[in-house]
Amino acid sequence: MTPTPFPLEPTAAQAQAAIAEEFSFFGDWSERYQYLIDLGRKLPPFPEQWKTEEHRLLGCQSMVWIVPEGDAQRLDFHAVSDSAIVSGLIYLALRVYSGRPASEILATEPDYVAATGLARHLSPTRSNGHAALLAFIRDTARARQ
């Protein structure tokens, strides 16, 4: 298993609350986008050998690769994108869902998307890609439950 910094908070709900609080510190969307970019830089290294079609997330305009590991007790997700903003979105999703039991993943709606204003400020293609990422995480949790 590849080491991952997630989870940062004890529960997915606490992760979402922390994300919403962090985003509330920024006054405008240029600052929030910069914060997303900075978060994306914190993603752990992603092995080049994982950048294959098998691990490519479909539904994203940019290139995104994601690899799940684990079982119903703990699912870890490793992901990366060639887009700086998308990498930040990946970081947020992994902060909420990676390193958690499948049951917690399935019981946790991605409330941080609305709480941070991301739902209103992402382009349609980024919104679709983010939805594909969240669907992949939930589908993986459902399959491993």
Query: pLDDT tens-digit profile of 11-25?
Result: 999 999 999 999 999
Query: pLDDT tens-digit profile of 82-102?
Result: 999 999 999 999 999 999 999
Tokens 């119903």 appear where?
72
Q: Which helix (H) or strand (E) holds 72?
A: none
The whole-number pLDDT of residue 2 equals 60
Question: Is residue 78 predicted with pLDDT exceeding 90?
Answer: yes
pLDDT category at 59 given cuts 50, 70, 90 is confident
Q: What is the pTM of this model?
A: 0.95
Distance CA 72, CA 21 (A): 29
> Which of the residues 43, 57, 60, 92 is marked catalytic?
60
User: Which tokens hold the place of 106?
Assistant: 């399935």
Q: What average pLDDT score do residues 31-42 get?
A: 94
Measuring CA to CA, how many Å separate 145 from each of 4, 9, 93, 110, 138?
21, 22, 19, 19, 10
35 among known catalytic residues: no
> Maximum CA pair distance of the chain?
40
